[in-house]
Amino acid sequence: MKNQHIVVAGAGIGGLAAALTLARAGQRVTLLERAAEFAELGAGIQLGPHAIKLLSRWGLREPLLARACLPEAIAVRDAVSGRSLSRILLGQAVQARYGEVYASVRRADLHALLLQAVRDEPQVTLHCNAQVNAVHQDAGLVNVQSAQGSHSADGLVAADGVWSGVRSAVFNDGAPRATGHAAYRAMLPMAQCPSAMASSIGVWWGRDVHVVHYPVHSGQYLNLVVLSEHSAARAVPGWASPASAATVLASVQGACAELKDLLGAASAWYSWHLYDRPAARSWVQGHVALMGDAAHPMLPYLAQGAAMALEDAQALADCTQAGEDWAGALGAYEQQRKSRCERVVATARRNARIFHLGWPWALARNAVLTLQGTQTLGMPWLYGYG
C-alpha cells in the first residue's frame, strides 16, 4: 500500500519519526505542529541499543553520535550516605551483548536531526502553528480541521503527546491524570562537574526521590534530573515551569554533601509535573491511530519514552508497506506494539517503587544490589529488540 495521504498531528520526536518513516514507505504526509516555531528543548534523553538500531536504519546514527555521549556505566549510589550500591556496565559491554551502543543525548539534538530529515523529504509537508481543532471520519476518509485549514486524508496519526487533543476528540476516554510525581531539570556546564561524571550515568536513590545525571551534547553539558513524589494536588501542566533551588534541595532530604554540592551548582531549575492516562482499550478508532505518549504515556523510570515513540513510528510504516489498506495496517500496528509498550509502562511503574523505597525496605534492596556487584545492562527483552 502506497501513496496514501496521512496526516500526522504533532512534530515532536515521535511525530517527526512517523512522518519520516511513512514518507519513506511511500505515503504522502501532512505534518501538523501546534507550536508556531520549534523552541530549544533543554532536556536530555537516553537511547538504548534498540533505539540506535532504528536511527542507523534511517541514516541518522553517525550524525547523532557526533553530538551524543556514550557512557561507560551506570553508577548507582545511596543519596543519603553516598555509598556505592551497584555499577551497571554500558559501553563496549552493551555493544557486544546487543549489537549497538547506549547513548545519552540532548533532546534538542535528536529533534533537530529528525526535523532536518523530514524537511529533506519531498513527500512531507510541514505546517507549524497548526493545532488540530476537530476530527471527522466519513466514508473511509478523515477530515482534520486545523488552524491552517482543512485536510482530507486516508488516515490520521496522533503523535501529539500525553495531552493529545486528537485522543480526547476521537477516543473520548478522559483527560490526563496527575501521577503525584514531578521532575526538576537543569543543565550544568561539564567544566563545573567532577571529571568522573563525563563518562557515566549517575543515579542516586533516596526515599520518595532519586537523582539522575548524564553527559550530553558531545560532553559539553551534564543533564541533571531530580524525580520526586509530590501531592497530586500540587501538579500543574507544563514541562518548563521555573523552580527554585530551595524547592529542589528540599525534595532530596538528607542528601550527602557531594550530592548537595552538585544540586547547588545549578543556576536554573525547571519543573515538570508528570501526568499519564489509563491504558487505552484500543489505539485505533476507524482510520485514526495513537502513537508515542498519546497512546502509552509512561513514567520516566526506565528512560524509554523516546525509544518507544521511535519504535512505534517504524512499526507503523512497516505495517503500511505490508498491508493492503490503511485499516488493516492500523490493526497490525496495534497488535505488534500494544503489549510491548504496556510491559514497558508497567516496568517503569515498578522501577518507581523500587527506586524510592524507604527504610527498612531500602536496606534490603541495597544489600541485594551490593551482593550482585558489577554487571552488564540486563533486560534483553527491551534492549535486544529489533
| Rounded CA separation 224/246 (Å) | 16
Catalytic residue among 214, 301, 333, 383: 214
| Rounded CA separation 267/194 (Å) | 17
Q: Which DSSP state fits 154?
A: S
Residue type, 164: S
According to the model, what pLDDT value does residue 148 have?
Answer: 86
Q: Answer yes or no: are the C-beta atoms of 283 and 332 closer than 8 Å.
A: no
> pTM, whole model, 2 decimals?
0.96
Query: Judging by beta carbons within 10 Å of its beta carbon (0-12, 13-18, 19+), is residue 274 exposed, middle or buried?
Result: buried
User: DSSP characters for 53-73?
Assistant: HHHHHTT-HHHHHTTSB--SE
Assess whether 333 carries a catalytic annotation. Answer: no
The pLDDT averaged over each successive group of 10 residues in the chain (386 residues) is: 95 98 98 89 89 98 98 97 97 98 97 98 97 93 94 97 94 91 95 94 97 97 94 66 91 94 94 89 96 97 98 98 90 97 97 96 95 95 96
